[in-house]
């Protein structure tokens, strides 16, 4: 990140994930590179998708472009597949925001071949550690459905990926 590109990063901080609006695309860790043109009028942003089939991917690319066009004359959005996105790239502050939003954040670092898919540390509602999985897949590709045994509330777990 150059000092000049700071303007672009500031804009990107305001672009929410369409499915989990409490997180920005920067919180999520999908912005891999930001380069301003020499004259400062153009910017190229490199994004890495979260899941192969995530419908939010195209919306995010469009939202990023629209937001940056308020600050730059020319905007290019590039998709980069490798290295693949991992929840390890999420900011620690993003995990606090997720909890506040009622979603348990991913726990621990991702290791291949991903035999250990992880589990939430605690219920995001009452903090109990007595939780159980209801379903391995949830309302979006990145989440699984869990339930708190103590307060009985169901909640989403952002899967380790």
Partner 1 sequence: MSPTSDRLLRVADGCLVLSHRLSEWMSNGPTMEEDIALGNIALDLLGQARGLLQLVGDEDQLAYFREPQEFCNPLICELPNGDFAFTMLRLLFVSAWLAEVWSTLEGDAAGVAEKAVKENAYHLRHASSWVVRLGDGTEESHDRMLNALDGLWPYRGEIASEQWYARIEPVLTEATLPMPAADAWAQRSSADGWHTEHLGYLLAEMQSLARAHPGATW
Residues that bind partner 1 (CB under 8 A): 49, 51-55, 80-85, 110, 112-115, 117, 134-139, 141, 145, 159, 161
Min dist CB 37 to partner 1, Å, is 26
Provide, rounded to whole angstroms, the least separation between the CB of residue 32 and partner 1. 13
CB of 8 to partner 1, least distance (A): 24
By C-alpha distance, which of 83, 77, 57 is closest to 65? Answer: 77
Closest CB to partner 1 among residues 63, 156: 156
Nearer to partner 1, 95 or 143 (CB): 143
The smaller minimum CB distance to partner 1, of residues 3 and 112, is found at 112
Pick the closer one to partner 1 by CB: 102 or 141. Answer: 141
Q: Which is nearer to partner 1, 11 or 142 (CB)?
A: 142
Closest CA to 72 of 47, 37, 26: 37
**Minimum distance from CB of 117 to partner 1 (Å)?**
6
Omega of the bond leading into 32 within 30 degrees of 0 (cis): no
In the complex, minimum distance from the CB of residue 157 to partner 1, in angstroms, rounded to a whole number = 13
């Amino acid at each position: 990140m150059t000092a000049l590109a700071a303007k672009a990063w500031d804009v990107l901080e305001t672009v929410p994930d369409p499915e989990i609006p409490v997180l920005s695309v920067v919180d999520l860790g999908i912005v891999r590179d930001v380069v301003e043109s020499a004259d400062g009028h153009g910017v190229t942003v490199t994004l890495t998708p979260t899941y192969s089939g995530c419908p939010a991917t195209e919306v995010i690319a469009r939202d990023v472009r629209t937001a940056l066009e308020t600050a730059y004359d020319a905007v290019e959005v590039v998709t980069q597949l490798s290295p693949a996105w991992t929840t390890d790239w999420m900011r620690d502050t993003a995990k606090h925001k997720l909890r506040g939003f009622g979603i348990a954040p991913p726990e621990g670092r991702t290791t291949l071949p991903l035999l250990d898919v992880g589990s939430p540390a605690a219920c995001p509602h009452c903090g109990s550690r007595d939780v159980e999985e209801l379903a391995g897949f949830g309302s979006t590709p990145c989440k699984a459905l869990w339930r708190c045994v103590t307060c009985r509330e169901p909640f989403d777990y952002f899967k380790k990926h």
